[in-house]
Amino acid sequence: MKQESYDERPGYAAYVPLGIATLVLSFWSLGYRGLWAAEGRWAEVTRQMLLSGDFFHPNINGQPYFDKPLLTYWLVAVTSFFTGALDEWAVRIPSALALAVTLGTTVWLGRRLWSRQVVLTAGWFLLSTYSVLFWSRTGMADIENMAAIMLAVAWYWTWRDRPCFKSFLVFYLIAFIGAQLKGLTALVVPIAAIIPDVLTEKRWRGYLKPSHFVAAALASLVYFGPFLYASMTRPDYQSSGLALVFQENIQRYFDPIDHVEPFYIYFYELPILLLPWVPLFAGALLMTWPRWKQLAANTRWLVYATAMIFLFFSASGSRRSYYILPILPFCALWMALYVSQAGGFSRDALGRLLHRCQWGIIALLGLIELVSPFIWPLLEAKTGFAAPAGLKTAAVVTGMATLGVLLADWKRPQFLPRLTGTPEDAAGMLLATAIILGG
């Protein structure tokens, strides 16, 4: 695949602000909030494992609970060893670390295919997308699943021109280890993402060889091995991990027992997951089709891969909003190409209008935060919610910082692009949104 050449204006120093922002937004006060929703199940299963010393037969209150694979519990257990306690921090740190891995692999993938500016912009988009930050601060396996998927796709692109036993084996090891985190989507989604490149570039002939299938078979032992060991060592354990693998990953896809939603759910759930970047994603989407022939081949692959992932999750009989989270790094790269006007993208009058709408949304959010002292009394009178003093103070500080960044970007339009390595008309919005989410 011939790749387009790009300007390398941002220096390596531009990675530093993105790294610092990732650490702050991922780990600041991570353990402050009590466990909620499914976090309690992850914590309780791990607690039982630590108490019993049995890490292959998960249970809750003495009842078998093999609904999820084992690796997520093991990561929480290892984290608790380093933190010294099984608490909110230990339950959530694996997800926070997985966000760093996701960002790193997204940057690596984008750097191989486009430019440093594009990948820095994609990193900021991903970090400032509310759903990504929300789930990365939640003790569940969804961001870890996303990280494994991006690792597998990045590995493919690293070795795509050198298909051999090693490249096949590592790809499937990443995918099957990821499947031990949440399920077989960590295997299927990377394959769905790379199939367009394999077919359009006629690379499939290089993959139909014995080393490919031997590598896949060997790597699958990493996934099936723990389930087989669990069934062989505890005949009295009243739950089969392999049976639940079939039920949770295959049966639920074709004949769901729960989470039955209409096939079009992701048409409105994906924009919600992309908040607050819906106008820019709409611009990227609308500008893709009229310029399809002008797009670089690697950009067309990205669009195909995003579509394949969307179709895979839409075709499932079992649908929930956060199931489609793995599509977000691809959307971030797509938006980064659009705002950078790279990969064959350019902007017309509609694109400029959507850009102004996006800027207005960020400025409005900052203004609401700033004037929140006048809003809290009205909210309390209407709903009975009395905001704590810390929240009131944080809202004002966040609003001041957000509007301050937008003002600085207006007065000194060269400073933030140099600092973040992102395009001139996007740097202020990206940094301001990160501040809003941090607040």
What residue spans define the domains of the chain? 95-347, 348-439
Task: Tell me if 44 sits within 8 A of 218, measured CB to CB.
Answer: no
* Cα 324 from Cα 301, distance rounded (Å): 19
Q: What backbone torsions phi and psi does residue 105 show, to the nearest 5 degrees?
A: -75, -30
Give the span between the Cα atoms of 422 and 38, in whole angstroms. Answer: 37
User: Cα torsion for 122, 105, 343, 311, to the nearest 10°?
Assistant: -90
Distance CA 430, CA 277 (A): 10
SS3 for 294? Answer: helix
Buried b (16+ CB within 10 A) or exposed e, 297-324: bbbbbbbbbbebbbebbbebebbeeebb
What's the pLDDT band for 3 if we cut at 50, 70, 90?
very low
pLDDT of residue 4: 44
Token pair 């709409």 is found at 282
Query: Which pLDDT tens digit goes with each residue over 367-376?
Result: 999 999 999 9
Between 90 and 37, the more confident residue is: 90
List 430's β-bridge partners, or say none: none
Residue type, 396: V
> Cα–Cα distances in Å, from 239 out to 67, 225, 299?
9, 16, 46
- How does pLDDT run across 10-30, given as a tens digit for each residue? 678 999 999 999 999 999 999
pLDDT at 65: 86
List the structure tokens of 146. Answer: 């996303």
Which element (helix H / strand E) includes 410?
helix 389-411
- Indicate the range of 80-94, 171-185, 255-269 predicted with least confidence: 255-269
Q: Evaluate whether 182 touches 149 at the Cβ level (below 8 Å).
A: no
**Whats the size of the chain, residue-wise?**
439
- Per residue in 393-426, pLDDT (tens digit) is 999 999 999 999 999 999 998 999 999 999 998 9
Please give the average per-residue pLDDT across 262-286, as a whole number: 94
DSSP string, 324-363: GGGGHHHHHHHHHHHHHT-TT----HHHHHHHHHHHHHHH
Per-residue pLDDT band at 9 (split at 50, 70, 90):
low
CA 433 to CA 293: how far, in whole Å? 33
Arithmetic mean of pLDDT, 316-337: 94
Two tokens at 348? 């017309």
pLDDT at 317: 86
Q: Work out the burial of residue 47: count CB atoms within 10 Å of its CB; fewer than 13 is exposed, 13-18 middle, 19 or more buried.
A: middle
pTM for this structure? Answer: 0.93
For position 434, what pLDDT does the model report? 95
In the block, residue with structure tokens 């069934």: 231
For residue 218, pLDDT over 90 is answered with: yes
Residue 269: pLDDT above 70? yes
With cut-offs at 50, 70 and 90, classify the pLDDT of residue 350. Answer: confident
The percent of residues in the chain predicted with pLDDT above 70, rounded, is: 97
Residues 283/350, Cβ–Cβ less than 8 Å: yes
Determine the pLDDT at residue 107. Answer: 94
The contacts of residue 257 (CB under 8 Å, 6+ apart) are 247, 251, 318
Could you give the C-alpha distances from 170 to 74, 152, 153, 156, 209, in angstroms and in order?
A: 21, 8, 11, 9, 16
- Tell me how far apart the alpha carbons of residues 423 and 355 are, in angstroms, rounded to a whole number: 13
**331 has pLDDT over 60:** yes
Q: Specify the range with the lowest mean pLDDT, choosing from 205-219, 341-355, 386-400.
A: 341-355
Task: Provide the pLDDT for residue 10.
Answer: 67
Q: Are 48 and 80 in contact (CB under 8 A)?
A: no
